Structures are given as structure tokens and as C-alpha cells.
């Protein structure tokens, strides 16, 4: 057997099962994801390890961890499965069967206008493409796309401006800043703007971090330039801005509420929120010191026509 050949007996299902276990962290979650019984999944992973000739996973009470060999096989498995999926898709199109497919991830809690533009322009640019939409948190490296679990994603770019790893491509579609709510009795309220130092001395409700870790960490770092001990307070009611505003209005210390990126820098925010008592008012942060850059990211391995669709979509949003 040549050295470049896979061990006899390995099938695509073994690779799919292995990727599911590695990404899920437990056999239970992976079995649910793959719609197979857990004993069957465990047996197939053991057979894969026998085929390869080494352990791929370390089993523990808290779940599974990849061995060094498992880390290598995970990367290669994703590449193989992606190539197979693309190959089958191209074959079906050549035979006149089915349409192109695009797996698109959207960062949670995007500004409504940005989310609506994205859906509208993508559907207009690709009326014959089947788009699967998924809402999921994105890290600074857009891991779902990098790891070939998705084809493209819309989210917030790293504030440090570092390049994304190959084979990812990105288009900048604009900077967005948050809505900041402060008590109506605060001295900055009549001005419609608050300085960074004043803001950093208040209790600021924002987060939780897992929703947008890149933006959360970047904004905390900016506020710490004025107050080294600054920390955000998790919102008590993450899905309800009015309830969070009412909570902040009754605090014993001056408290504010910081939304995620909400409106384009230089435009007026939409602040029609019924707080129930009108004790919190929206203001801007002076100098747009808190802003996030939105980017549309896709895999450079996509067929050229799909990349063109994504480029046109991003260009239309940025205009």
C-alpha cells in the first residue's frame, strides 16, 4: 500500500462521526447531532482508531479531548469532507440536478437594518442558490468558516485589524457603534454625548461576553484606558432591553446600558424603546471610541460564482 493511501476500511461516515465528536465534545451530543445511537457512534470511533493505528481521543468524565494525532486528523477530515460535498454539488449541477448550496452564519444580535440588508441582498444576488441560515457566535477567526462547518459568515471583525488566516476572504461593510443609555439626571444627558472617562466610572451593563467576545473584549480594553479596574456587568434580562433599562434606572450607583453594535458611525441611532418610566436616555460616546467593524467573510475554496455572489452582496451593503 502506498504511503499516501488511507488505511483500508476507512469510510466517509467514520470521518463525519469523528468530526461530530470532536466538535461536540461528548459522544452524547455527537450522537444526537448525527442521529445515531451512542453505542454505535462509540463503536465506529473505536474502529476508526484501529484503522489509523493510534488513539484519536482522550475520554474523560467531562467529555473528550483530541490527541495530537486526533488534531491532525480533524483538520484533514474537514478538508476531505468539504471537497466531497463540493464535488457532489458540482456533479449534481452538471447533471442538471439540484441547485448550489450556501451555508451562511449570522452573528447574534446584529443591528436590525444590517441583518435585513444582508438577507435581502443575498437573496436578490443569488435567487437560484439554496441558502441555509445559522445564527451562532463568531470568534475573531470566524472558526465555523475556517473549519469548513459553514461557507460564509457575517459578524464583527477583530479590532486589532489583523489579517484572517487562509483561505478566508473578507469584505469590510462598515463601522457600527452601540447605543448608550444613561440616567436622565446625569450631567451628560442634556448634551447627547458622554466622554469615555465619565462612562468608565459608571456601572455599565453589557454582554454577556459569549455573545460577541471580540467586541466585548475590545470595548472593555478601551474603557480600561480611562479606568484600569473597569468591568462590564452582565445584563439581568439579556433578551429585553426595556427590562434592563428599568433595572439600571433603579440602581444605587449611576448605571448605564451599552448595547452591542447598533447603528453606523455617523448616523442617528434608532432609540424608540419604551423603558416604562423614561428615566434612561440615549447618548453617544464622544469620538465614536466604541465602534465595531462589520465584515462579510467567506471561504476562498468556494466555487468562483458563489464568491462573486458574496462579493456583490457585501458591496451592496457597504454602499
The rounded mean pLDDT for the chain is: 84
Last residue in a domain, options 60, 93, 126 = 93
pLDDT at residue 192 is higher than 60: yes
Asked whether residue 49 falls in the same domain as residue 87, the answer is: yes
Q: What is the CATH number of the domain that holds 69?
A: 1.10.10.10
> Please, which pLDDT band fits residue 62 given cuts at 50, 70 and 90?
confident
DSSP helix/strand/coil, 291: coil
Last residue in a domain, options 27, 62, 93 = 93
Please state the pTM of the whole predicted model: 0.65
Asked whether residue 113 falls in the same domain as residue 149, the answer is: yes
Pairing mode, strands 101-106 and 152-156: parallel
Asked whether residue 121 falls in the same domain as residue 157, the answer is: yes
Segment 37-57 mean pLDDT: 90
Q: What is the CATH number of the domain that holds 216?
A: 3.40.190.10
Asked whether residue 184 falls in the same domain as residue 280, the answer is: yes
Q: What percentage of the chain has pLDDT greater than the value 70?
A: 90
Asked whether residue 163 falls in the same domain as residue 189, the answer is: no
pLDDT given for residue 272 in this prediction: 45
Asked whether residue 169 falls in the same domain as residue 180, the answer is: no
Asked whether residue 219 falls in the same domain as residue 277, the answer is: yes
pLDDT given for residue 6 in this prediction: 52
> Please, which pLDDT band fits residue 2 given cuts at 50, 70 and 90?
very low
Tell whether 6 is covered by a domain: no
Tell whether 4 is covered by a domain: no
Q: pLDDT (tens digit, 9 = 90+) per residue, 154-174?
A: 998 876 556 777 788 888 898
Q: Which residues form the domain of 191?
A: 175-292
> Please, which pLDDT band fits residue 63 given cuts at 50, 70 and 90?
confident
Asked whether residue 186 falls in the same domain as residue 147, the answer is: no
pLDDT at residue 9 is higher than 70: yes
Segment 256-277 mean pLDDT: 71
* H or E, element range at 263: strand 255-264
Is cis: bond before 167, omega within 30 of 0? yes
Tell whether 5 is covered by a domain: no
Q: pLDDT (tens digit, 9 = 90+) per residue, 212-243?
A: 888 888 899 999 999 999 999 998 877 788 88
The rounded distance, in Å, linking the Cα atoms of 12 and 10 is 7
Asked whether residue 186 falls in the same domain as residue 128, the answer is: no
Asked whether residue 105 falls in the same domain as residue 68, the answer is: no
Asked whether residue 162 falls in the same domain as residue 17, the answer is: no
How far is the CA of 154 from the CAs of 25, 60, 98, 151, 314, in angstroms?
Answer: 25, 35, 26, 11, 10
Last residue in a domain, options 93, 125, 152 = 93
Tell whether 2 is covered by a domain: no
Quickly tell me which residue has 471580540 as its cell.
214
Segment 253-272 mean pLDDT: 77
Asked whether residue 38 falls in the same domain as residue 81, the answer is: yes
Structural domains of the chain, count:
3
Amino acid at each position: 500500500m502506498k504511503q499516501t493511501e488511507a488505511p483500508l476500511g476507512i469510510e466517509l461516515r467514520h470521518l463525519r462521526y469523528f468530526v461530530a465528536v470532536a466538535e461536540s465534545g461528548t459522544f452524547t451530543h455527537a450522537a444526537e447531532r448525527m442521529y445515531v445511537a451512542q453505542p454505535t457512534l462509540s463503536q465506529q470511533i473505536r474502529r476508526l482508531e484501529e484503522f489509523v493505528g493510534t488513539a484519536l481521543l482522550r475520554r474523560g468524565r467531562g467529555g473528550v479531548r483530541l490527541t495530537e494525532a486526533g488534531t491532525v486528523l480533524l483538520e484533514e477530515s474537514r478538508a476531505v469532507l468539504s471537497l466531497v460535498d463540493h464535488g457532489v454539488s458540482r456533479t449534481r449541477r452538471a447533471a442538471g440536478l439540484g441547485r448550489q448550496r450556501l451555508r451562511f452564519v449570522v452573528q447574534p444580535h446584529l443591528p436590525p437594518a444590517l441583518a435585513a440588508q444582508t438577507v435581502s441582498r443575498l437573496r436578490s444576488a443569488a435567487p437560484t442558490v439554496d441558502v441555509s441560515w445559522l445564527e451562532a457566535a463568531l470568534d475573531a477567526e470566524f472558526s465555523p468558516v475556517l473549519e469548513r462547518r459553514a461557507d460564509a459568515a457575517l459578524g464583527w471583525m477583530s479590532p486589532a485589524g489583523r489579517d484572517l488566516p487562509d483561505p478566508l476572504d473578507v469584505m469590510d461593510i462598515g463601522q457600527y457603534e452601540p447605543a448608550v443609555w444613561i440616567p436622565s439626571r446625569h450631567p451628560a444627558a442634556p448634551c447627547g454625548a458622554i466622554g469615555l472617562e465619565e462612562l468608565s466610572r459608571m456601572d455599565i451593563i453589557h454582554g454577556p461576553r459569549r455573545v460577541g467576545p471580540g467586541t466585548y473584549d475590545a470595548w472593555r480594553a478601551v474603557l480600561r484606558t480611562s479606568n484600569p479596574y473597569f468591568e462590564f456587568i452582565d445584563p439581568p434580562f439579556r433578551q429585553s432591553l426595556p427590562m434592563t433599562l428599568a433595572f439600571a434606572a433603579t440602581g444605587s450607583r449611576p448605571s448605564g446600558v451599552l448595547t452591542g453594535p447598533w447603528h453606523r458611525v455617523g448616523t442617528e441611532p434608532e432609540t424608540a424603546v419604551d423603558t416604562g418610566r423614561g428615566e434612561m436616555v440615549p447618548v453617544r460616546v464622544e469620538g465614536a471610541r466604541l465602534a465595531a467593524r462589520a465584515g462579510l467573510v467567506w471561504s476562498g475554496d468556494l466555487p468562483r460564482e458563489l464568491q462573486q455572489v458574496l462579493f456583490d452582496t457585501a458591496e451592496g451593503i457597504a454602499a
